[in-house]
Structure 1
Amino acid sequence: ITLLRSCTSGQSSSPGVMGDLHYEVLPESTASFSVTFHRPHADSLAVLLVSVSNPRKIICKLFGAGISDPSLNENISIVMNSCMS
């Protein structure tokens, strides 16, 4: 949650709400979790799947309608790894 808050400009004291960004974090396995959120500039949901094989290796995959840029996954993974180092 702290990492998610650091990636947004507005913060809220309510769990699951950051400014106008509502999200849901769910465990997917012992080494991964998903974050589902409403895309701010689209009328659709997106899901970020985060796999943490070890603290220095975080791999992210973004899923959602209209998300087709393959470099997004790499860029998000780079940001997540740098935030955790």
Structure 2
Amino acid sequence: MIEPHAHIVDITGLAKVLLCSESMILKTWKQYPHFYIGHGCTAKGARFDINDVIGYLKKRDYADTGQKTKNMDGQGKDVRFPCNN
């Protein structure tokens, strides 16, 4: 589990916080608010502020209550969360 005081995480830490596989985060990391450390703009140098990511997900998924029906598949399953396996 992530340390309670660790607000800035890398790809591995973000996967733990979002309860996703690291490979899933590697496919989708650019959509989350991030910044880079070091040189280059790669996943290896990307860092994520947990509060910013959670805020982004809340705004994306819950800002428009009508959006929920748009994100349902034909069987009534919510398809907005790419990390659910």
* Same fold by TM-score greater than 0.5: no
Q: Which structure features the higher share of strand residues? A: 1
Greater RCO structure (CA 8 Å; 6+ sep): 2
- Which of the pair has more CA radius of gyration? 2
Query: Structure 2-normalised TM-score?
Result: 0.31
- The structure richer in helix per residue is 2
- Give the structure-1-normalised TM-score: 0.31
